[in-house]
Chains A and B, each alone.
Chain A
């Protein structure tokens, strides 16, 4: 058995149900089937028969067989498989493809296979009879290996093999009661009937638990679904759950967790483009957030996704890349052209590609497969490129619910999800992705600008929850060393990109140079003016000095004349012999 990882799962949910310790729950028998125990809250009703119905080819026998095999290998409950349609040899071969080694289990007396052969043409009815033979046979089988689980697959074929349906009905009723008395957990499979759960109305007799399997085809793709129709004495998930049959058996997906209670991280992870990090509050995306990169065709969505993958791998994280349009080698070749080499990460086992066409399977099957791959690889980042290739015709609602389930799943696992989405040019951007935008934390918008005979790429952050992000539109170029962000010109004529931006830049430079020259010229002029002014001032100064000297000279002359005059008058007084008082003015004059 290659089931080691499942085997290690402890059968903890066995008896008590969903962690509810207070209320006594119906004892349950865990199936060990991925997801089914979660839906049924611990498994099938212990010691009671369960009816498993569905149309041909929907997986009844496999589910029943897995119930027995897991019971035998994980829960130490031997089981009896009573087959009415397939021989023991056929069954062994059929389930070997799921990795069940029945031969070994039979040899170890964990499982007993009994093929009941009923051929109408060989049987002659001659009076009253009952099915005591079947009871004895089953009882003997159960007792011989101490079985706790029993599968009857498909007991309805008795109706074809035995002539009297009245006797058969009475006997089946007795059989189910007898199984209950025996205390074995039983699965009885039955064909889906027209307008009723089973063709022979077995649901009348087996009424403790009814599980319905369905295999539906819509838009040419099929998906398997499982629904617990009835579970007496227990709560159970009532939705239709998609399930998958692959080499590991059955896995049912208990989706649509409505709790919204996932724990978020405040750790930031780089987008792989430095300037984009800067636009997102300087640090990049939140770990575990969901990122949508939408844009029209050829705007470089995948390149941003590849940048992110490259950056994550550089940090040593594991990345899972789901591609729906290109093959891995095509993606890697294309990314090499912009200088991102993903091959080393693939070689190192850090990057894993899963490329499948969306039409390969139904939405649910895709979802279950993604779950499985994610659970197995345990990545820190998941890339879906592109999302909307799932939308075929009118299934948008289905796609949305699938994405919601997937995003919920990623968030609970704290896996950063990067999704690309192609916008058809007819719609406005906000419209075309509005259905999923509420699920998205960070939404980058890439668009092409048509101007001046060329297309240029622009990037804007439409929203980014929980961070201060840039409101600017940036132009970006896909260079041979990755994505490069540039500022764009926003002017009266709108946003300028590409060569228009370059022209604008050149024009600006010319204008700038002219301005510079003008300033220099003015400075020189000013200097000259100052020099002229200073010269003028010096001339005035000199003139002033001249005038000053002149005026001083005149003043001196006048004073000398005055003194002479006074002297002369004194001398005249002396000569006229004036009185003593006349001496004073003479003294003053001195």
Chain B
């Protein structure tokens, strides 16, 4: 499986983007081939991003089988792992992203209730 790039829809970050909602999200999802967990995670993330971050996110899906050397650099152990590169601080979310609530909390899109 090749590195898939979910259609990057970038909204220009303007100086007016002071609101949290307007920040750009750069997300990297590390998966291992076509394993059920990986497939589920990819589907879940796409859905979640479209629903919550439409137009202001970049989601890179990286297959570690194709690029194993990245595992060391990115400190990946668990698969699937989602890394929020931006906005900082760096966040790691592991699992198949089936618990939408926790993903949103992890991405700081929803305060932990």
Contact = CB atoms under 8 A, between A and B. Distances in A.
A150 to B, nearest CB: 15
A133 B37 contact: no
Contacts of B99: 126-127
Contacts of A116: 75, 77
Contact of A136 (B32, B41, B92): B32
Interface residues of A, number: 24
A124 B106 contact: yes
A579 interface: no
B24 interface: no
B71 A126 contact: no
Contacts of B102: 124-126
A137 B35 CA distance: 17
B105 interface: yes
A132 B80 CA distance: 8
A323 to B, nearest CB: 53
Given A116-B75, A116-B77, A137-B76, A126 B68 contact: no
A140 B69 contact: yes
Contacts of B91: 122, 124
A130 B99 CA distance: 16
A139 B79 CA distance: 15
A338 interface: no
Interface size class of B (residues with CB under 8 A): 20 to 34
Contacts of B93: 123-126
Interface in A89-144: 114, 116-118, 122-134, 136-137, 139-141
B32 A132 contact: yes
Contact of A140 (B72, B79, B94, B95): B72
Interface string B56-80: 0000000011001101100111111
A133 B102 CA distance: 21
Nearest to B96: A127
B78 A131 contact: yes
A162 B90 CA distance: 17
Interface in A342-377: none
B30 interface: yes
Contact of A137 (B68, B92, B96): B68
Contact of B37 (A117, A125, A129, A137): A129
A158 interface: yes
B97 to A, nearest CB: 5
Contacts of A136: 32, 64-65, 68, 71, 76, 79
A132 B77 CA distance: 7
A589 B84 CA distance: 183
A125 B94 contact: yes
A128 B96 contact: yes
B98 A128 contact: yes
B68 A139 contact: yes
Contacts of B98: 126-128
15 contacts: A123-B92, A124-B105, A124-B106, A125-B93, A125-B94, A127-B37, A127-B97, A127-B99, A129-B95, A131-B79, A133-B64, A133-B78, A136-B65, A136-B68, A162-B77
The 9 residue pairs across chains A and B that have the minimum distance between CB atoms: A124-B106, A127-B95, A140-B68, A127-B98, A133-B76, A137-B71, A126-B95, A132-B79, A127-B96
